[in-house]
Amino acid sequence: MQAGTILGLIHMIIMNHLIEKRIVMYPRLMLQRILLCMFCFIPCLYADQLIKGTAQQEQVTFPFPVCQTIDTFEKTDYFVTADFSRTGSGIVKDYSIAHMRHDGQQFSPLAPEKISINGVEYNNPFYDHAISHCTLLQKTISAITGLPLRPVIVSSHDPQTIFLLNIVNQKPELITAENRITYYKNIPDATGLLTSGIVGLQAGSPSVFALVKPNKKESVFGDPGSGIVHIILGLIELEEKNKNKKDDKKPVDEKDKNYHAAFLILDREGTNRGVYNRALALDRTTSEVKLDADLAYMGNPIMHWSPEVQRLYVGLDVKAENQPNAGARALVIGRTDKNHAFTLEPIAPDNAFEAGANTIIGGRAAQGNWSINHIKTLFTSTSISYLIVSSGAREMYALPLVTGNENLPLNGRIAKKDAIPQDFCFTLNNIDLFMGARFIKEPAEKVEDMPVADDPATRVGTGPLPYGDISSVKVDTDTVFVCVSKLHENDIPGVYASQALFDMHGKIKGWTEWQRVCGVNHSVDHFFWDAQYGNVTSIANTPDSSIVRRTSWLCDDASHSKSFVEIIQDEFPQSSGGVQGLYSFNHHTPGLNGGSAIVVTGLHKVLFVYFDQEATAKGSTENFTHTVFTGDIIEQLGPITTACIANTGQRHCLIVGGIGGVALLHHKDGKGLDGLHTQALHEMTCKKIGTYRHVKALMADKQYVYILTSKQLDRIDMQAGMACTTIAHVEHIKQLSSRASFFDFIVSGPLAILATSKGLYRIGNQCDARTIRSSQEGQWTMVPLPEFDGAVTQLIPATVTGQKNDIARYVGGHMYVLSTYKEHNVAQIHRYSIAPVDEQGVNDLTVFHMPDFFVDKQHSYFVNAGYEISRFATDGSLYLLGQNKIHTISPALLKALPCYLSGELDQIDSFTKHSGRRFLGIQSRTILSFDTGSFISAITRNPVTGSWMIAGDWGVRVNE
């Protein structure tokens, strides 16, 4: 492992050097691949690798539980603090707080025994002592050297002092929050007296907010005197300071001013000239929280700073008084102005709350109780801000936020749920009307405007998390990740995610069901999501230790999927073309009896892997049954590239297709198979269907099976004697010629969408893919593919159930369209919103290009890969691009990176500084490189573990 660490460091150093030297893109890409290939095969790296800490024991990171975790906006640096409540002294030592890079192998301690505090060497108050609160201030300030990542911490035995942990040349030092009177015990309450304790801490560059209790020792948060203290890291004028001290009224010339970097406590009015600073009051009597009457109870505050909205959100556990119309708001907004004055704003006006309305964040009911357990903000890929809150142990909700309103206090409030977003454009570098941002300006003013718990757009995961109580939440781009620890007997631990589904305006219209992700199926108390490489670092606490593990793309003895992957490698060797098709069928698939399946196809062979209901529920891939199908009929198909599971009425069957045609795998008695989960798999045999050639894709929707060849799309009614109808043919679609070809398709009820070599087509208005009798009857209509003239090669749906054929059901879904221009080695990804198709049938708004703009009102692409890619997959957070071999460059898995207009992440806090999170291309990161391969055949998720799987002629790799 040490060797691996050293080599990993060498790799990093080399890569950093290359990047610093600005080696041109193309050679750098090659070099990255070469280096990745070299280091990918270092045998001492592990799948699901254990991160090293201080523990001496095997498979343990720390000999103490982890209490708090923080990561950076970019998700590149992780900080953890020790939980002392279950650990005695002398164990934690300098690991009270520790740091690790996202790709590091080991945590580094940040609490040495001796430390400089405000420039003087002292015993470190955090050495072997608990940290009660911790947050991370990301701020570059020229006057202070050191890393721009500065944890702000409070000691549990000194809850009246806030320290800034500054790391200079890898050596930590402490700076206290300064009140100009004394360095220590200086945090005021709302009356200006010394607080009796800090109960929460949240950084929001350049500010830090601290929730404080009143001065009285026996008081609790929520009592009068409670509040929020505003601290700022910045430059102050030293002369100005001295002037105050000397009470000198003479004006000071600008040149005489001496600026001094400080971590300064501000008064709520924003001025630092008063001797006694005060916290901003937040207690049971605060009008922004109460409705009509003071609260009966307020407690358990949590905070979240939204860099996009520039607002502080404080979540509370509140209880209304026992009065008829009394109510409470469990969320309140904090905002600062130019003068650093800090004020509170209500999350929604009083009129927005009514008795009986489930408005999630508050309401009116005598002795009604509302609580917020987790708060995050989601800035979607469509540039709209949402507040993600959990109001129960398992419920997560997404609430639209007001942004861009000229009346500044309204920004950050709950937006009117039916409001249409408005685009904000500006001129940049003589490009007129450059897309700047997207705003919902209308706030919710009455209860009808408020998102409620029953709205599909509001319910993250379509409902409560069925696997257990949520212990931690992360959001990234369009996806909400939660983790479940094994708190209760019936909890199914792991990391789960739900992806937002967008309507034609870019607003969230629904969510995908909770789905296990990242291959994590053990208890998780905290986790970090590595947006750079798609890995998850999970932290599982035991009573006296913690285990930190990170998923990885390498498969070895530690991998859960080792046996599964080995079977695939054995059955589909590279000499036979490797894996040419990899299909996941989740528990919604009919015929699997609540279980899941993976179908792997290749030359003259089909592998069916079945995970039963229990394994699927537990997320375990260790137990499965598998069957390999071979034989004369399968051989006739040649290389098999596609598969689907179809319903023949009472029975279900597996259908596979390849160059040589389509075959139905059925029971030897000819009756099909009564559920693919049964042991009768071994008794299956094959029957060829039709005389197809060059089968590109198969899909089943209810009783119909659709077969796509390079020239036609056929519908087979499995319950009507397998009657076959050609519903699309290249020669019968306008603007297509006999030379055109089909690549992919989606059918969902009446809606059918075709990817062709000459663009994207959908079935005509009022036409029904289930009933049309010919291609002409389908009235296939071209769907505009803005700013592109190439071929559409892949359709990637995002649906509620994860089933491709549900894209036009429930609330609909959205679809990513991969279009490639092989000739010019480019590829783009467009997004279309798919509306649910009801009785009125398909219409002009059913398939609608999502508002990805570059220039105002000009629809454009979502991702420009910058080069030809063959496969695309996403979970709403990670955008994976599969690149086949190009010239001498090996096939690779890449991650598309967002390209901000400003180029600086800390500038995205301004609405006018980003282009709406469009992927402008060029930027991508190589995650994996396959130097012996030539193509990538699939990027999909394991239906059981949610791990990303990537397959090609070189085999299969799993991230777990």
Partner 1 sequence: MNLLRPYDTMIRPWYTGCYPFQFAWFGEAGIGAARAFDEDGHRTNALRIWNRDQNALAMLAGFDAQCEIGQRLLEIDATDDGVRGHFCVNGDLDLKAAGAFSARWFFCRDWSLSFWLPFYSYRLHNVQFIDQTQNITDQDFRVHELLTDSIVQNVCELGGPVIGDWNRTGPGDLTVFVEWFRDFPQPKPLLRMVRLNWRLGLGFPTGLPEDEDRIFAFPFGFDRSFSLPFGLGLDLTFIFHLRAGFDVQLTHIFGNTRCRRIKTNECQTELLLLEKIRAYKDFGLVQRFNLYGQLFRICGGLSLKLGYQFYKQGHSELSISSNAFSNEIANTAESLREWTIHQIFTIVDYDFGVHCAPDARIHPQLSAYARVPFNGTRSVGNIALGGVFSIEF
Q: Determine, following the binding rule CB under 8 A, whether residue 641 of this chain makes contact with partner 1.
A: yes
Among 659, 782, 905, 920, binds partner 1 (CB under 8 A): 659
Q: Determine, following the binding rule CB under 8 A, whether residue 605 of this chain makes contact with partner 1.
A: no
Helix (H) and strand (E) counts in the chain: 6, 67
Taking contact as CB under 8 A, which single stretch among the options 258-266, 290-298, 524-532, 786-794 is the one that binds partner 1? 786-794
Per CB under 8 A, which of residues 458..487 are in contact with partner 1?
Answer: none
The smaller minimum CB distance to partner 1, of residues 293 and 956, is found at 956
CB of 462 to partner 1, least distance (A): 37
Q: Determine, following the binding rule CB under 8 A, whether residue 561 of this chain makes contact with partner 1.
A: no
The 702-731 contact track toward partner 1, x by CB under 8 A, reads --------x---------------------
Among 46, 73, 127, 821, binds partner 1 (CB under 8 A): 821
Among 551, 648, 793, 799, binds partner 1 (CB under 8 A): 793
The smaller minimum CB distance to partner 1, of residues 439 and 743, is found at 743
Among 436, 510, 595, 790, binds partner 1 (CB under 8 A): 790
Place of tokens 């500065």: 150
Q: Determine, following the binding rule CB under 8 A, whether residue 884 of this chain makes contact with partner 1.
A: yes
Q: Determine, following the binding rule CB under 8 A, whether residue 773 of this chain makes contact with partner 1.
A: no
The 844-883 contact track toward partner 1, x by CB under 8 A, reads --------------------------x-------------
Q: Which residues of 554-591 are buried (b: 16+ CB within 10 A; e: fewer)?
A: bbeeebbbbebbebbbebbeeeebbbbbbbbbbbbbeb
Structure tokens at 691: 């005389």
Judged by phi (left if over 0) then psi (alpha if -120 to 50, else beta), residue 105 lies in alpha
CB atoms within 10 A of CB 840: 9
The smaller minimum CB distance to partner 1, of residues 512 and 864, is found at 864
Percent helix, strand, coil in the chain, to 5, is: 10, 40, 45
CB of 710 to partner 1, least distance (A): 6
CB of 644 to partner 1, least distance (A): 16
The smaller minimum CB distance to partner 1, of residues 85 and 735, is found at 735
Looking at the DSSP assignment, which residues form a beta bridge with residue 755? 744, 760
Q: Determine, following the binding rule CB under 8 A, whether residue 59 of this chain makes contact with partner 1.
A: no
Tally of residues, the chain: 960
Q: Determine, following the binding rule CB under 8 A, whether residue 182 of this chain makes contact with partner 1.
A: no
Residue pair 815/834 in contact by the 8 Å Cβ criterion:
yes
Q: Determine, following the binding rule CB under 8 A, whether residue 639 of this chain makes contact with partner 1.
A: yes
Phi then psi dihedrals of residue 276, to 5 deg: -110, 105
The 677-696 contact track toward partner 1, x by CB under 8 A, reads -----------------x--
Per CB under 8 A, which of residues 395..454 are in contact with partner 1?
Answer: none
Structure tokens at 723: 């009657």
Residues 6+ apart with CB under 8 A from 882: 869, 870, 871, 872, 873, 891, 892, 893, 894, 936, 939, 950
Taking contact as CB under 8 A, which single stretch among the options 136-144, 508-516, 676-684, 790-798 is the one that binds partner 1? 790-798
CB of 580 to partner 1, least distance (A): 6
Q: Which residues of 82-108 are buried (b: 16+ CB within 10 A; e: fewer)?
A: bbbeebeeebbbbbbbbbbebebbebe
Q: Determine, following the binding rule CB under 8 A, whether residue 658 of this chain makes contact with partner 1.
A: yes
The smaller minimum CB distance to partner 1, of residues 289 and 826, is found at 826
Question: What one-letter code names the amino acid at 547?
Answer: I
For CA atoms 903, 908, 914, 920, give the dihedral sign.
positive
Q: Determine, following the binding rule CB under 8 A, whether residue 603 of this chain makes contact with partner 1.
A: yes
Among 424, 743, 816, 948, binds partner 1 (CB under 8 A): 743
CB atoms within 10 A of CB 247: 6
Q: What is d(CA 227, CA 214) in angstroms, rounded to the nearest whole number?
A: 8
Per CB under 8 A, which of residues 887..946 are in contact with partner 1?
Answer: 887, 934-935
Taking contact as CB under 8 A, which single stretch among the options 198-206, 211-219, 607-615, 817-825 is the one that binds partner 1? 817-825
3-state secondary structure of 571: helix
Q: Determine, following the binding rule CB under 8 A, whether residue 739 of this chain makes contact with partner 1.
A: yes
Q: What is d(CA 861, CA 817) in angstroms, rounded to the nearest whole number?
A: 9
Residues near partner 1 (CB under 8 A), total: 35
CB of 861 to partner 1, least distance (A): 16
What does the longest C-alpha to C-alpha distance in the chain come to?
103
Phi then psi dihedrals of residue 212, to 5 deg: -125, 150
Q: What is d(CA 538, CA 518) in angstroms, rounded to the nearest whole number?
A: 10
Taking contact as CB under 8 A, which single stretch among the options 306-314, 457-465, 771-779, 789-797 is the one that binds partner 1? 789-797
Residues 6+ apart with CB under 8 A from 341: 268, 269, 270
Q: Determine, following the binding rule CB under 8 A, whether residue 53 of this chain makes contact with partner 1.
A: no
The smaller minimum CB distance to partner 1, of residues 380 and 709, is found at 709
DSSP string, 84-128: GGG--TTSSGGGSEEEEETT-SB-EE---SEEEETTEEEE-TTTT
By the criterion CB under 8 A, which residues form the site for partner 1?
Answer: 575-577, 580, 603, 638-639, 641, 658-659, 694, 710, 737, 739-741, 743, 757-758, 789-791, 793, 821-824, 870, 884-887, 934-935, 953
